[in-house]
Amino acid sequence: MISNNFSEVRVFAPATVANVGCGFDVLGFAIDEPGDEIVARVREETGVVITAVHGDGGKLPLRVDQNTAGVAATALLQDVTDNLSFGIELELYKKMPLGSGLGSSAASAVAAVVAVNRLLGDPYERKDLLQFAVEGERVACGAAHADNAGASLLGGFVFIRSNHPMDVFPIDYPEDLHSTVIHPHIEIRTEDTRKILRKQILLARAVAQWGNVGALVAGLMKGDHDLIGRSLHDEIIEPIRSVLIPGFNQMKSAAMDAGALGCSISGSGPSVFALSRSKEEARKIGSAMQRAVASVGLDSDVYISKINKAGSTVISEKQTQEWNSGMVE
């Protein structure tokens, strides 16, 4: 039985770092900030509407079938029942930059499905919401990739064995692992960064990459910082995409000189991440990277956090009062 236990739910979904060096399309992790918030409310008319988007500078569509949050929420509603007697309105608070390589569209989609699921009394387990969130990714990026959405939903590190069929699972990591993310103030479209990749690669280079992917998974699960560092190399994607990011080489050198375990592009960029062992190191690395990107004339934001363990979280909820009449089977 699907009911609206709450009349209003507010959810936070964190930004995420996808690819993580060698792990192109298979690895992602969540960070504490930035992130998106969505308020979902029950309304009388059926279906999903987006009443407002704040903080996007007017760039995001309000049309449900064009907005990642709307598409994801609709996918959930269509799956849960044919027979819902009420509808849902979404209000989206973009609290992170668009096109930053930090999983902006994924965070919105994840926040939407977590909020709607909660409104309906949690008919789905957390992990089962991913299938709906990636529908939002499909409209934003042209493909249903689960790396950002999986990490934003579940928190921690997630590994994507396969997108079709979806096979996503969490992997353990050392508790002291910290992330530094620099967002230089330029915009790159994910679709463009995908087009410039070569369709064919050398087998020898692919072997080196899957050596690093397997070793990175082992390093994270063993809590072996040195192995994590030795594995954080991407000889396939990074050399191509990094040319779109002014100051990338300078930022990476600065991060490594400041003691980072590794440094690479976050998602398809332009954000750049580095991993380290403590908040103090993460801050020092952030300062060095910001100076490096400033030297090529770019302003930037820096985000320092532990790996975000919680993933998306319900911030507040209002119990249903007069809306009890909205219950359905």
Binding site for its own copies (CB under 8 A): 22-27, 159-162, 167, 169, 171, 197-204, 206-218, 221-222, 227, 230-231, 236
Residue nearer to its own copies on the CB measure, 186 or 227: 227
Q: Looking at 16, 190, 193, 320, which residue is catalytic?
A: 190
Distance (Å, whole) CA 98 – CA 120? 29
Name the nearest CA neighbour of 30 among 160, 149, 182: 149
Distance (Å, whole) CA 101 – CA 92? 19
Min dist CB 219 to its own copies, Å, is: 9
Is-catalytic flag, 190? Answer: yes
Residue nearer to its own copies on the CB measure, 128 or 317: 128
Residue nearer to its own copies on the CB measure, 20 or 293: 20
**φ and ψ at residue 274, rounded to 5 degrees:** -140, 150
Min dist CB 234 to its own copies, Å, is: 11
Is-catalytic flag, 137? Answer: yes
Residue nearer to its own copies on the CB measure, 221 or 296: 221
Min dist CB 328 to its own copies, Å, is: 36
Residue nearer to its own copies on the CB measure, 92 or 217: 217
Contact 272, 251 (CB under 8 A): yes
Min dist CB 137 to its own copies, Å, is: 16
Contact 153, 164 (CB under 8 A): no
Distances (CA, A) of 34 to 5, 14, 100, 175, 176: 29, 6, 11, 20, 20
Task: Please give the structure tokens belonging to residue 220.
Answer: 């994270």
Residue nearer to its own copies on the CB measure, 28 or 70: 28
Min dist CB 200 to its own copies, Å, is: 5
Contact 136, 72 (CB under 8 A): yes
Does the N-terminal peptide bond of residue 14 adopt cis geometry, omega within 30 degrees of 0? no
Min dist CB 121 to its own copies, Å, is: 30
Q: What is 107-159 written as a DSSP string?
A: HHHHHHHHHHHHHTT--S-GGGGHHHHHHHHHHHHSS---HHHHHHHH-SEEE
Q: Looking at 137, 180, 281, 320, which residue is catalytic?
A: 137
Give the contacts of 149 (CB within 8 A, at least 6 positions apart).
103, 106, 109, 110, 130, 133, 134, 136, 137
Name the nearest CA neighbour of 32 among 300, 310, 281: 310
- The catalytic residues are 137, 190
